Amino acid sequence: MNQAKVKRVRDIVDGVLLLDKPVGLSSNDALIKTKRMLNAKKAGHTGTLDPFATGLLPLCFGEATKFSQDLLEADKTYLTTVHLGQRTDTGDTEGQVIETHEVNVTREQIEAVLERFRGPIEQVPPMYSALKRDGKPLYEYARAGVTLERDARPVTIHKLEFISYEAPFLKLEVRCSKGTYIRVLGEDIGAALGCGAHLNALRRIQVGALTMDNIVTLEEVAAHAAPLALLAPVDALLSSFPPVQLTQDLAKRFLNGQRLPLGKEPAVTPPKLEQVPGRVRVYLGEKLLGTAQLGEYDILAPERLIAVGS
């Protein structure tokens, strides 16, 4: 007689884990492994890193998943090594070499080319990407040998700093807007130098306000006696937003989705409007209640709310 398989009971876990994703593992696989280690019921990550890339992968658990979109929209910073003189079909080390050229460039030539890629630029997304066409990822077309036309997209390179050059390897630091493909940036720099290029290494070191401070590896999570202690609180995702404190009565109304005229509430002193970009994080004491838009006349409009008891 077959016994029914017992379904594993997952725990309600809230918080953020700053994972140092290893090379060779997809972001989703890293998430699945960590979720299993923490026995967490609900989890998500905040922006894919390619398997060959390493570094900061913020993983959100429970209530933190409500705010993961903010990090998807955030600027990101990378350290990268560009291999000049070789092009691959994927733009990185995972692909096959399709072109080889002699490399004969100077630091001055590199600096001049880098200047052309600072600020607002346009990028053509790579065929080896998860962008979809007719419901199918581009990388599936690429693997079948099909190349499709792609429209260029606007992105912004806030920082493109020369670190070192030991031919044929060019090391750079890049801070960029969402939607930027560092692989494409490396290829375009190589094309501008006349020798072609692909990415040899890529490491993400910052996502929004989150940095490498307190980053942990999968091995450290697995070996920790109390791995939940490695989690940062949910509001670690929201540190760039000004805080607003509510009274008990206002907090109850806020959690019911009511818009609050804070200017008429003497017990609450919100930030001055000129200091607020519109988005704020809302608290009752030390408890995060959620995010809101603070608008004209100090009207607080609830946005994303934390479940009561979390």
Which residues are known to be catalytic? 50
Nearest to 89 by CA among 103, 81, 99: 99
- Phi and psi dihedrals of 171, rounded to 5? -100, 135
Radius of gyration of the chain (CA): 23
d(CA 189, CA 192): 5
b (16+ CB within 10 A) / e for 144-153: eeeeeeeeee
Q: The tokens of 114 are what?
A: 């880098």
Q: The tokens of 198 are what?
A: 């692909």
Q: Residue 59 in contact with residue 43, Cβ under 8 Å?
A: yes
State which amino acid sits at residue 160: L
β-pairing, 169-176 vs 76-84, is antiparallel
d(CA 176, CA 76): 6
Which residues does 190 contact at the CB level (< 8 Å), separation at least 6? 82, 84, 85, 87, 196, 197, 198
Which residues does 305 contact at the CB level (< 8 Å), separation at least 6? 254, 255, 257, 289, 290
Strand ranges, E, within the chain: 15-21, 43-45, 54-61, 76-84, 86-88, 97-100, 119-123, 132-133, 136-137, 153-166, 169-176, 197-207, 243-245, 260-261, 279-284, 287-294, 299-305
d(CA 219, CA 37): 10
